[in-house]
């Protein structure tokens, strides 16, 4: 009798797959609403958000990922503008042991485009990535024009911006975004905290704010 060999192909679990806007809309209409975590800046969250979502900016999540990992239970959906920052947040949570988080595919922008009834617009501000592009582009243009009209040394400004963007990509960080987040037009009444998040999350998740 010939021996047969069964080859097992690794599969990707549903928890690792992005969640489409339609799938999230269906969950929001049902009794299976997951924990919605918006990792954008407070100003972006105030401008356009999914009602019921909790704002935990990416830098805050990164600094407190172990605390959050100990408390998060059930399905979690990570939300940002278009999906990039949510994917970064997913990696941080996975490193801390959370395996029930998923990323909203296309971010809140895609959800608004396909299911606007599940989004809410408040005071309008530019998204942070748009602000970064505007400032970086303006500085590069200033450096170029300055090198032609004022002094060649002004051209170093464009080089400095290019070096900063390269460093940002290599380290997966953005000093310019951090600086812009402190600008007056990006301020909200109350900045989010981990304690505030844990207090706001529904009791059904059995999350308690850590003491001390």
Burial 41-70 (b: 16+ CB within 10 A, else e): bbbbbbbbbbeebbbbbbbbbbebbebbbe
User: Which of 174, 198, 207 lies closest to 40, judged by CA?
Assistant: 174
C-beta of residue 206 within 8 angstroms of C-beta of residue 72: no
Of the spans 29-33, 82-86, 173-177, 194-198, which averages the highest pLDDT? 82-86
Q: pTM above the 0.85 mark?
A: no
The residue written with tokens 């296309």 in the block is: 106
pLDDT of residue 209: 38
Question: pLDDT for 154-178, tens place per residue?
Answer: 777 888 888 877 777 666 566 777 6
Give pLDDT, residue 47: 86
Q: Where are the alpha helices (DSSP H) in 98-127?
A: 107-114
| Residue corresponding to tokens 């592009």 | 133
3-state secondary structure of 212: coil
User: CA-CA distances (angstroms) from residue 165 to 6, 29, 158?
Assistant: 49, 41, 11
| Average confidence score pLDDT of the chain | 79
Gap between the Cα atoms of 180 and 43, Å rounded: 11
**Residues in contact with 115: Cβ distance below 8 Å, sequence separation at least 6, in sequence order:** 21, 22, 24, 25
Question: Tens digit of pLDDT for each residue in 104-146?
Answer: 999 999 999 999 999 998 776 677 777 777 888 888 888 888 8
Q: Which residues pair with 101 in a beta bridge?
A: 76
pLDDT of residue 211: 40
CA nearest neighbour of 208 among 74, 81, 72, 55: 72
For residue 187, give Cα distances in angstroms to 137, 168, 191: 23, 23, 8
């Amino acid at each position: 009798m010939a021996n047969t060999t069964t080859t097992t192909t690794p599969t990707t679990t549903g928890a690792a797959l992005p969640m489409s806007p339609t799938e999230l809309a269906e969950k929001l209409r049902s009794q299976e609403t997951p924990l919605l975590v918006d990792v954008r800046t407070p100003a972006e969250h105030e401008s356009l958000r999914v009602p019921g979502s909790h704002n935990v900016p990416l830098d805050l999540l990164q600094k407190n990922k172990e605390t959050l990992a100990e408390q998060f239970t059930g399905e979690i959906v990570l939300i940002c503008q278009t999906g990039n920052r949510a994917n970064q947040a997913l990696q941080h949570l996975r490193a801390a042991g959370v395996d029930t988080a998923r990323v909203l595919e296309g971010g809140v922008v895609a959800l608004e485009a396909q299911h606007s009834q599940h989004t809410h617009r408040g005071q309008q501000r530019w998204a942070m990535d748009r602000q970064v592009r505007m400032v970086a582009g303006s500085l590069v243009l200033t450096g170029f024009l300055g090198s032609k009209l004022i002094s060649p040394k002004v051209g170093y400004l464009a080089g400095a911006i290019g070096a900063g963007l390269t460093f940002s990509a290599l380290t997966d960080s953005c000093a310019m975004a951090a600086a812009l987040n402190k600008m007056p037009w990006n301020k909200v009444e109350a900045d989010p905290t981990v304690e505030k998040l844990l207090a706001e999350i529904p009791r059904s998740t059995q999350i308690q704010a850590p003491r001390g």
